[in-house]
Amino acid sequence: MSHSIQPLVYNAGEPQYEQTADWTCAACSLAWLNRALGIQHATDEFSAAEYIGIPDHINSLYGLMDASGSRLVQCFREQGAPAFALWPSWAQVFELASYMPLLLGGVGWYHWVGVRGANMEGLALANSAPGWQDVYQQLNEWQWHSLGPWAAVPVPLLHNFPPPPSS
Region of 45 (left: φ > 0; alpha: ψ -120 to 50; beta: rest) is alpha
> CA 55 → CA 49, 58, 128, distances in Å?
9, 5, 21
Domains of the chain plus CATH, in order, are: 25-158 (3.90.70.10)
pLDDT tens, position by position, 2-51: 455 556 789 999 999 999 999 999 999 999 999 999 999 999 999 999 99
18 three-class SS: coil
Its sign, for the CA torsion 78, 79, 82, 87, is negative
The amino acid at residue 13 is: G
pTM of the complete model? 0.91
Q: How far apart are CA 167 and CA 113, in angstroms?
A: 32
pLDDT tens, position by position, 88-126: 999 999 999 999 999 999 999 999 999 999 999 999 999
Q: Which residues pair with 153 in a beta bridge?
A: 103
Nearest to 106 by CA among 129, 83, 82: 129
Q: Is-contact 114 123, C-beta < 8 A?
A: no
